[in-house]
Amino acid sequence: MTETKKVRWGILGPGSIAKAFQGGVAGSKHAELVAVGTRNPEKPGLATDFPGARVHNGYDALLADKDVDAIYIATPHPGHAEWAIKAAEAGKHVLVEKPMALSAFEIDAIFHAHRKAGTFAGEAFMYRLHPQVKKLGELIASGVIGEVRMIQSSFGFSMGKFQPQHRLFANDLAGGGILDVGGYPVSMSRFIAGAAVGKPFADPIKVSGTAKLNAEGTDDWAAAVLTFENGIVAQVSCAVMANLDNVLRIHGSEGRIEVPDFWFAGGNRDQGVGRIDVIKGGKTETISVNETGHVYSFEADGASEAILAGRHEFAAPGMSWADSLGNARVLDKWRADAGIEFNIEKPAKRVNTLSNRPLASGGTAIPKRSIPGLTKQASAVALGFEDFRTFSSGAILLDAFWEKGGNLFDTAFVYGSGYTEKLFGDWHKSRGTREQSVLIGKGAHSPLVYPDVIAKQLTQSLDRLQTDYVDVYFMHRDNLDVPVGEFVDAMDAEVKAGRIRGPFGGSNWTKERMDQAIAYADKTGKQRPGALSNNFALAEMLDPIWAGCVTSSTPEWKAWLNDRQVTNFSWSSQARGFFTDRAGRDKTDNEELVRVWYNDQNFGRRDRAIELANKLGHSPIHVALAYVLAQPFPSIPLIGPRTLYELDDSIKAFDIKLTSADLKWLEDGK
């Protein structure tokens, strides 16, 4: 008889939930517990609670155990991302207790680490692997209650009294009901909404949440409404200071389904029979999957089976990577609506990277280059990060960019109504990176394009940026009704005041206007405008993306830039998705792509980029970025990745070295 292959598990953080998981492993087919990592190896009861497991002194020792294949992470919430990432670096698979991390941004970073390591990573919503959930999905798909219209789902209990140091309340431990138990009703609602349309899950198109906060700033009880594209509305609630009814109710056009305590399959922590009540026409039919296995054994086997099969994520109905990210985005919005941002997410306390290490310098994945008029070396690409609205989310990307060798950052007075500047100010202050950074500032955007606005907005920008100078400065737009010399005078005054310490110029300025500005500066002894920030890409911008935008991708512009050797910091350097699968001659649903980029010349260039990419083993978008980097004039692309994967993908362009002949062939096929 062939022995069943098993995954050797280690538990990181042997608390109460870890004991429950141990019980599940003991009752599983494909998992065995071999080790435990604890910061208190002398703690009484470890041998009893985790029989047969080696006890390691510290979490790092557990990760170093060569006889451990996979790690179950059961620390308090703030440690989840750190140890999941470190486990990936150690080559270990992970099952992370919910919530997988504090935000969708942190979860995405975990998945990125495991994608690179080739390891499994799963979020431990144990109920999703129980047969009850599969049966529930089948009932919804069968139409037993008609069309699903509303979902009500709650998970709440009362701790009796407020205990500020307890993990369920403490701000520094990311306490509160939303993160501790709110994910259950949200994940179930998304599962039901998906089952109603034949999908593993569905993400809501609208989330509106609220909560009652305590003295720690965490939620005692909370509720949210989720609206789905197919019209389903879900009401979800959670609490750590209120005994809710804890019943899942699914209301359909012909009846309803009720499931008590769905996360325990209607039973207790150890045994669940899988009870589902179908109520139609005044009658109740109770359906049971008659499953008596340990409720945690199903996730232990689900994760182990995925690992043994070489998969990186759970199979449905377990939480896939996309499912976990979607769930976290709902919780992020719920928290934001309730006004909950933990102190450990703010710059004063989040002084290390997500893996809880000091920020490292000296990376070489992104090369450095000289910029005319600037004494510092700058990275060959600049990072734009205006899509982030919290320090904890933006810092993940900023840290990664810096550690790869990036030190050039693109900000502007108008980005995020000033939040991008504030984010960078908080980041460099907490990391101590300002003097090694090259900071781009921009001001005087439409409609306020006047000389006297420059100093006023720069003062506000420097206050937000928590610095007394920018390295590069651009006027964000031009105003042809104002003599160009007045703009040069205003920017030169800031140079003399030490508030601009490198080149300045215009964003979305014409060749003619730049020539006039340079001539005026030479005539009057002012600093020459030495930089531009216009669109430049392999695809020519046919129609301005936004009013007042200027492209420098035409032959005339390229000749001008080459002749003047003016540095261009190019925005939309990869043509906003034109070189990805989002575009194509037969894909006309994206109005912006069609309006701005679609013509025969650009599609010819796209075809050649695809051809060259296939030859080099890269993607067309890498070729498009390499084209901008390889220009015979100083050309610095601005990139705006939203995830670590997108950042890593962008810098693959540095592996491509294009010759002048390559550039010409990409442009005209000759």
**387-417 residue pLDDT tens:** 999 999 999 999 999 999 999 999 999 999 9
Rg of the chain over CA atoms, in angstroms? Answer: 28
User: Has residue 100 got a pLDDT over 90?
Assistant: yes
In the predicted model, is pLDDT for residue 1 greater than 50? no
Residue 306: how many other CB atoms lie within 10 Å:
22
Residue 292 has pLDDT above 90, yes or no: no
**Model confidence pLDDT, tens digit, residues 178-191:** 999 999 999 999 99
Residue 33: is its pLDDT beyond 70?
A: yes
Question: What are the sequence ranges of the domains in the chain?
Answer: 7-125, 128-293+313-345, 368-534+550-574+629-668
Residue predicted with more confidence, 173 or 292:
173
What would the pLDDT profile of 111-123 be if each residue is shown by its tens digit? 999 999 999 999 9
Question: Per residue, what are the HEC states of 443-487?
Answer: ECCCCCCCHHHHHHHHHHHHHHHCCCCECEEEECCCCCCCCHHHH
Can you tell me the distance from the alpha carbon of 638 to that of 655, in angstroms, rounded to the nearest whole number?
18
For residue 267, what pLDDT band results from cuts at 50, 70 and 90?
Answer: low
> Hey, what CATH class is 368-534+550-574+629-668 in?
alpha beta
Of 8-12, 155-159, 267-271, 641-645, which gets the smallest average pLDDT?
267-271
Q: Any idea which residue has 């039919």 for tokens?
A: 285
DSSP assignments along 130-141, one per residue: SHHHHHHHHHHH
Q: Which residues pair with 617 in a beta bridge?
A: none
The pLDDT of residue 289 is: 86
Which CATH number describes the domain made up of 7-125?
3.40.50.720
Nearest to 382 by CA among 437, 304, 462, 324: 437
The pLDDT score that the predictor gives to residue 547 is: 87
**Bridge partner residues of 440 (DSSP):** 410, 472
Is the pLDDT at 270 greater than 50? The verdict is no
Q: Kindly indicate the confidence band of residue 333, based on its pLDDT and cuts at 50, 70 and 90.
A: very high
* 424-471 pLDDT, tens digit each: 999 999 999 999 999 999 999 999 999 999 999 999 999 999 999 999
What is the pairing mode between strands 247-252 and 256-260? antiparallel
Contacting residues for 577 by C-beta, under 8 A, at least 6 apart: 583, 590, 593
Please count the other Cβ atoms lying within 10 Å of the Cβ belonging to residue 608: 19
Give the 3-state secondary structure percentages of the chain, helix then strand then coil, rounded to 5: 40, 20, 40
Instruction: Tell me which H or E stretch contains 256.
Output: strand 256-260
Q: What is the mean pLDDT of the chain?
A: 96
Residue 159, C-beta contacts closer than 8 angstroms, at least 6 positions apart: 166, 168, 169, 240, 241
Q: Using one digit for the tens of pLDDT, what is the confidence trace for 54-82? A: 999 999 999 999 999 999 999 999 999 99
Is the Cβ–Cβ distance between 112 and 81 less than 8 Å?
no
Residue 51 pLDDT > 70: yes
* Percent over 90 (pLDDT), the chain: 94
Would you give the end-to-end CA distance of the chain in angstroms?
67
Q: Comparing C-alpha atoms, which of 408, 323, 398, 313 is closest to residue 353?
A: 398
3-state secondary structure of 250: strand
Write the CB contacts of 556 (distance below 8 Å, at least 6 apart in sequence).
511
Alpha-carbon distance of 24 to 270, in angstroms, equals 8
- The whole model's pTM is what? 0.95
Tell me which fold the domain 128-293+313-345 belongs to: Dihydrodipicolinate Reductase; domain 2 (3.30.360)
Token pair for 309: 């099969």
The least confident of 21-30, 123-132, 260-269, 375-384 is: 260-269
Is residue 158 over pLDDT 50? yes
Q: Write the CB contacts of 208 (distance below 8 Å, at least 6 apart in sequence).
A: 224, 225, 337
What pLDDT is recorded for position 266? 57
Q: Give bridge partners of residue 121 from the DSSP assignment.
A: 94
Residue 269 pLDDT level (bands cut at 50, 70, 90): very low
Structure-token match 């003619």, residue found: 512
Query: Which residues lie across from 35 on neighbouring strands?
Result: 10, 54
Q: What digits encode the pLDDT tens for the residues 581-615?
A: 999 999 999 999 999 999 999 999 999 999 999 99
- C-alpha 453/C-alpha 487 separation (Å) is 10
Rounded distance, CA 325 to CA 43, Å?
Answer: 36
